Amino acid sequence: MALNVVMLGPPGAGKGTQAERFATTHGLPKISTGDILREAVQAGTELGRIAKATMDAGELLGDDVMIGIAGERLKRSDTTRGFVLDGFPRTVTQATALDTIMDGRGPLVVVDIVVPEDVLLRRLAARRICGSCGVNALVEWTTTCGVCGGGLVTRTDDGDGIVRGRLKVYHRQTRPIVKFYSKRPTFRVIDGNQPPDAVTAAMDQAICQACTVPDPGKEIPL
């Protein structure tokens, strides 16, 4: 059975780092819509030109564009054994579209990483991306990018005012997804306010357990 994982959580919860670790350990592609958009910005493509101002303002791109990007990426053959989605879905409309995309492809295991707001603000102030290829820096990269060797820089959308705006956007537009998924037997909540290795272990355990639930396609009756 395919292992289809969706990572939820506010900006700074550690989704990117944990998605990367889980994907690497389990030999699955990590699909980050934020990384796809940052790469498009770096490459100066049409998508990058459309996305840049919205991303810099800490707002969300339109659902149609994002559903198109995720849908195309999920058609690729490397996703047949499963995937780890980071940053998509971000609205209930996107989550509904993902269910349609997933029709017949096995259940989604949804992991919500929970971190207190003051910790998020501190983490976001310290966060870096690669100035050359645009990927999110992992916690273990100190000065250079582990993918291309480029120098690490602060994200333009991680400035103080923008960060607070992004957290508001999260609460208004993305948090309702938790309710959308929370009654599914394959939904799990993880405490993200612990050292990265502890979060990784908790995620592994929660996802393994979620994959052994008897009928993961069905919702638990209220």
**Which chain residues interact with ligand AMP by CB under 6 A?**
11, 33-34, 37, 54-55, 58-61, 66, 87-88, 90, 94, 157, 166
CB of 45 or CB of 209, closer to ligand AMP:
45
For the CB of residue 86, give the shortest distance to ligand AMP in the complex, in Å. Answer: 7
- Closest distance of CB 113 from ligand AMP, Å: 13
Annotation marks residue 155 as catalytic: yes
166 is catalytic: yes
In the complex, the smallest distance separating the C-beta of residue 68 from ligand AMP, rounded to whole angstroms, is 11
Q: Of all helices (H) and strands (E), which one includes residue 94?
A: helix 92-102
Considering the complex, state which of residue 52 and residue 81 has its C-beta at the smaller distance from ligand AMP.
52
* Cβ–Cβ < 8 Å for 43, 98: no
Residue 57 or 211 having the CB closest to ligand AMP:
57
Measuring CA to CA, how many Å separate 52 from each of 47, 133, 143? 9, 15, 24
- CB 155, min distance to ligand AMP, A: 8
Q: Which entry of 21, 38, 127, 184 is annotated as an active-site residue?
A: 127
What is the largest distance, in Å, between two alpha-carbon atoms of the chain?
A: 51
CB atoms closer than 10 angstroms to residue 215: 9
- 81 belongs to the catalytic site: no
Beta-bridge mates of residue 32: 86
Complex with ligand AMP: residue 21 or 90, whichever CB lies closer: 90
For residue 110, the 8-state DSSP code is: E
Which position's Cβ is nearest ligand AMP?
Answer: 34
Residues 101, 95: Cα–Cα separation, whole Å = 10
Joined tokens for residue 31: 């699909």
Residues 6+ apart with CB under 8 A from 137: 127, 128, 129, 130, 145, 146, 152
Choosing from 90, 123, 128, 188, the catalytic residue is 90
Selected catalytic residue, list 123, 166, 184, 188: 166
Q: Which residues are the active-site residues?
A: 15, 90, 127, 155, 166
